[in-house]
Amino acid sequence: MKLDTYSQATAEINENEALKDAGEQTPKEFFAKKCDGSKKEDTKHGVCPLRELLSRLGDKWSVLLILTLARMPKERARFSELKRSLPDISQRMLTATLRNLERDGLISREMFAEVPPRVEYQLTELGVSILNPMRDIVNWIEGNWTTIITSREVFDQKHPKEVESELQ
């Protein structure tokens, strides 16, 4: 199997490859061994939870919520603060997203028996630990965003028929 082409390409683009602790493998080797995702059942017994968690992270608010909490003092805020920081989110979605993240153990919820009630949410240790890989993704997106935008424009030029994606 020819890995030369790949290694060369990544060497040009990602200079920090060799630094990762799992980085002795190329991503190609790494991915070759897991998560072929060919069958639904793989998701069931946890072989490929990637898609499941990615789709959660990919929902409309989870990541923004994590980032919002990350910026708060002690990574902690109450419901109304979060609502203020994310004006576009509906109350319904804020509640639901917080609930899902709490279920996954990324945030904790502390309720105070006061009146009026007060509830505080905080990134857990686990939630904090995802900030690092998340930063790498953000870095990648930032670094390649103009490339992507340009690529889209070129593509849309070549395919004048209506584009089904209404993004951008």
Partner DNA sequence: CTGAATCCTTAGTGATACTG
Partner DNA sequence: CAGTATCACTAAGGATTCAG
Residues 108-127 that bind DNA (CB under 7 A): 109, 111, 116-119
Closer to DNA at the Cβ: 30 or 64? 64
What CA–CA distance (Å, rounded) separates 121 from 106?
10
Told to check if 152 binds DNA by CB under 7 A, we report no
Residue type for position 39: K
Local structure of 157: helix, strand or coil: helix
Among 4, 92, 125, 132, interactor with DNA by CB under 7 A:
92
Query: Quick one: three-class SS letters along 14-80?
Result: CCCHHHCCCCCCCHHHHHHCCCCCCCCHHHHCCCCCHHHHHHHHCCCCHHHHHHHHHHCHHHEEEHH
Told to check if 141 binds a copy of itself by CB under 8 A, we report yes
The entry of a copy of itself, DNA, none that residue 107 binds, CB within 5 to 8 Å by partner kind:
none
Q: Which of residues 51-90 bind DNA (CB under 7 A)?
A: 55, 59-61, 78-80, 83, 88-90
Told to check if 101 binds DNA by CB under 7 A, we report no
Told to check if 50 binds DNA by CB under 7 A, we report no
The entry of a copy of itself, DNA, none that residue 138 binds, CB within 5 to 8 Å by partner kind:
a copy of itself
Mask 16-35, x = binds a copy of itself (CB under 8 A)?
A: xx-xxxx----xx-xxx-xx
The sign of the torsion formed by the CA atoms of 19, 123, 63, 83 equals negative
CA separation, residue 83 to residues 16, 100, 125, 168 (Å): 37, 16, 23, 25
Interface with DNA (CB under 7 A) = 55, 59-61, 78-80, 83, 88-93, 95, 98-99, 109, 111, 116-119, 166
